[in-house]
Structure 1
Amino acid sequence: MDIIVENLVQVWDDGGAGVRALDGITHHFRSGTLTCLLGPSGCGKSTLAQIVGGIETATSGTIRIVDPKNPSAPPARPGQCSVMMWQSLNLFPWRNVIDNVTFGLEMAGVPKPERYARARELLASVGLRNFEEKACSQLSGGMRQRVALARALIMDRPILLMDEPFAALDAQTKIVMQEELTRIFERMRKTILFVTHAIDEAILLGDEVVVMTARPGRIKEVIRIDLPRPRTQEMVGTHEFGELYDRILHLIREEVLNAMRQQDEALA
């Protein structure tokens, strides 16, 4: 599904003039593309993902979610075709692995044999075969992350929204999960919006990197990542990767400094 965002504005009510979180966001997120949203804290990356997911409502502007194979069909409403994966996994500790993964299907009324069959197939694909009956507390952080990813994927929505899902993982586990997501993306080709603070992660995962300004969040630059797929960690040491990193770092450093100045002014 294509996500067409036009002149999106979000103003949070603070009891006064309001806080402008997003200002005039316009971008076409193309179907089957993995887009990384990158910018300083408070720039509205997560807010944009939540508006696309129908979790928040924009103050103004439009979002059209259209099927490029059937452009004459009515656009889907935000959230209708997407599922969100959060940094906080929100797994249910009283449910085992397979019942966590199948929760969405259960709420949708899918019969137990069908949802269990789909869950077992998906758990095997993310390396969790034979862990279906385990309590989530018995799993490592990376394994719990895979459970959360399987829970999102089992809904089979064409749009996957990911809000810093690997931020809390240790470095080694993060590498494994990045490779896992890359493999799944190659196979499923969903439209993915991936929120991150990490430049290397954005380059490694993304088809494009949308660099956002300090609040109010605007699109500063869109950088196409033309590195070949499948992506591997070995690419991080290449000249091409380094050039992209330096270019994005230059853009981000300026916005981080702007964000720090805003914080200092707010405390003055």
Structure 2
Amino acid sequence: MPPALDPMIGRYLRLEIDCVPHRLYFEEAGPANGIPLVCLHTAGADNRQFRHLLADPQVTKRFRVLAFDMPWHGKSTPPDGWEKSEYRLTTASYTAAIRAFCQTMELDRPVVMGCSIGGRIVLNLAIAHAAEFRALIALEAADFQQPWYDTAWLHRPDVHGGEVCAALISGLIAPQSPPVNRHETLWMYMQGGPGIFKGDLYFYRVDGDLREKVKVIDTKVCPLYLLTGEYDFSCTAEDTLRTASHIKGVEVQIMKELGHFPMSENPAKFREYILPVLDKIATQDRG
């Protein structure tokens, strides 16, 4: 194989989130003057889930794609003094991190696309901060899902947390997903920090209940797109359709042959669904 470089570039960004200094790692690709597209990874994972999107020339010819590792995830370091507290993601802290990244990077009304917990927080952006964004894309998202897992297993000294996380999410990958992509998705979960997946799920299970709140979303202020894989039993198609029924003007699609991690488990299939959405956003932006 001849040597080749992927197009994305990785950097560290120093910023304050809720007045606390952080150092976030992010990768980007695409023209500096492209439409900013910020991508949010799933619980316990990192921005590698979007590496195929970052390397897709059909996307990056118009969009400046940026994918950052949330604090405590991937290459982003925890804030100083992290050893004195337990990591626990909340709606407020998650929203603050996204807004701080966008503001520090001076992104002009970016598009934000998130998956799973990233999709749930996109709904909160639509509820509370819609005017700051030109479009919002929620993958595998609903206003609430009943927990189907026991988080007590996710941070114990006698259990390999990463392997348990990977085992927990393995069934959420569609059977049609290529084995290479399946195992790469699982590998990312095996590498999460101790207790981080559990801390993310606090937001998903407890603090991020958006039932009733989604009814105030105004898609005239900011277009909202919901896309969910048919094989996702964490956020089911029914969960997403129920949520969409409360949001006037939302565009919703159930993605065939995809599960809970569409951008990493089957990138080729996912682009069949996401490219038309991005085309529509780019066309509206020109208008």
Q: TM-score, normalised by structure 1?
A: 0.30
Structure with more contact order per residue of length (Cα contacts < 8 Å, sep ≥ 6): 1
Q: Which has the larger radius of gyration?
A: 1
Say which structure is richer in strand.
1
